[in-house]
Amino acid sequence: MRRRLTALAIGLGVFVHAVLAQAPGNYPALVRMYAAGRGNDAIAALLRWPHGEAIGAAKTAATTLTPREMIPAAILHTEAALSLVDARPFAAIAHIQAAQTLLRTAAQDASTRERANTAAARWYYFVASLLTSAKQMEQAAWYVREGFAAFPRNAALYLVRGTIAEVSIQAGSRRDLSDLPMNSRERARVEALARRATDDYLRALSVDNHLALAHLHIGWLRLILGDNRARSELEAAAADAATSRIRYLAHLFLGAVAERGKRLEDARREYAEALAAGPGFQSAYMALSRAEEALATAAAPRSWPNNAHSSRRTTIRGGISWSASIARRWRSCAWRRGVSEDRQSAGGALADAAASVAGAADVSE
């Protein structure tokens, strides 16, 4: 009897697990759970499904979901990809492909076309940004091309295409980019990639001249290459900044420009502005302290600290790590904030898992 009960319990447990893990018929319920505000629960449940079942459910969504439900379903699969992109990149790509199909299918219905296209325009930017941050450059470039095919002259897509070239600068360099020797092969490589990135950032600005992030990227590239035009771009970034993170970085880099030009009072002021915008970031504290020390001894120029040049490079490196380290967290937060509007318009109070990410989406130094 005991063996029979044990076997029955094991069998029941296996059955329940199978139902919860697979249950293709539950896919619409999972999407509705996500759309109703239980985003984290829905993502976790989807990731517990066998990979083939999850992707298969998305492929049959045309028969199980309404066009209206396909939009939150696409976002659900995209967030699953966000969770998988490092550990299981091929599985992440499968979820991304499923999401793209869902958005395209939703756009075929007249009642949801506008909403689906609005979500898709943001979606291509996010996916390309995510893949860039995961160092999957070819895949990122492919989704940029797909995005441009659907949405020509999209400022965000120009921005992320420039970022792909910019990330390639750091990926292929073993040197401190702020101190590259003139006429070196390495500098020529960096300058070529910087020109390519800058061209795309300028294209983004031709669509939206107040795109602070584009000004910031251009300013940083010019800063590390010693281009005197960095200052005007960084000032534009600070003026148009919609977030404290962008404002922090703009003022930090402006301080580095001023310090490099021996404009010590300007450097001190910019570093103080950076500290006010980002009080939790160490680089601003270090830079402000260095500028104040230099000002205190300005009457004796030769007393400039011996380590000032290397410290300034440290400030630049501490700031420019943003181009890679904040990519996924900041962009995922921006994506979630943006698509939350589409979720709500797609059907009620949709999942706002953004809150859990927004709190953690700080710039890493």
Gyration radius of the chain's alpha carbons: 24
Cα distance between the two ends of the chain: 63
CB hemisphere CA count around 92 (13 angstroms):
18
Angstrom distances, CA of residue 66 to CA of 35, 85, 101, 105, 106: 13, 28, 14, 10, 8
Domain boundary (152, 184, 208) is at: 152
| Residue 225: CATH number of its domain | 1.25.40.10
One domain, residues 195 and 295: yes
One domain, residues 190 and 284: yes
Residue 10 inside a domain? The answer is: no
C-alpha 70/C-alpha 73 separation (Å) is: 5
Q: What is the pLDDT of residues 262-287, one digit of tens each?
A: 899 999 999 999 999 988 888 888 88
pTM of this structure: 0.77
Cα 78 to chain centroid, rounded:
13
One domain, residues 79 and 208: no
One domain, residues 217 and 271: yes
One domain, residues 203 and 273: yes
One domain, residues 251 and 313: yes
One domain, residues 134 and 183: no
Q: What is the pLDDT of residues 25-69, one digit of tens each?
A: 489 999 999 999 999 999 999 999 999 999 999 999 888 899 999
Residue 33 inside a domain? The answer is: yes
Q: What is the pLDDT of residues 328-364, one digit of tens each?
A: 443 444 444 444 443 333 322 222 222 222 222 233 3
One domain, residues 27 and 64: yes
One domain, residues 185 and 310: yes
One domain, residues 292 and 232: yes
Domain boundary (120, 152, 184) is at: 152
Residue 255 inside a domain? The answer is: yes
Domain boundary (152, 185, 205) is at: 152
Residue 328 inside a domain? The answer is: no
Q: What is the pLDDT of residues 222-257, one digit of tens each?
A: 998 888 899 999 999 999 999 999 999 999 999 999
Residue 68 inside a domain? The answer is: yes
Kindly state the average pLDDT of the residues 175-195: 73
14-32 as b/e, with b when 16 or more CB fall inside 10 Å? eeeeeeeebeeeebbebbb
C-alpha 118/C-alpha 106 separation (Å) is: 11
Please give the DSSP secondary-structure letter assigned to residue 26: G
Domain count, the chain: 2
Residue 92 inside a domain? The answer is: yes
Phi-psi map region of 163: left, alpha, beta (phi>0 left; psi -120 to 50 alpha): alpha
Residue 290 inside a domain? The answer is: yes
One domain, residues 148 and 205: no
C-beta of residue 319 within 8 angstroms of C-beta of residue 283:
yes
Q: Which domain holds residue 255?
A: 176-321
Predicted confidence (pLDDT) at residue 122 exceeds the cutoff of 80: yes
One domain, residues 138 and 208: no
Instruction: Give the torsion sign (CA, 164, 89, 342, 326).
Output: negative
Q: What's the pLDDT score for residue 29?
A: 94
Residue 38 inside a domain? The answer is: yes
C-alpha 325/C-alpha 306 separation (Å) is: 30
Burial degree of 254 (CB within 10 A; 0-12, 13-18, 19+): buried
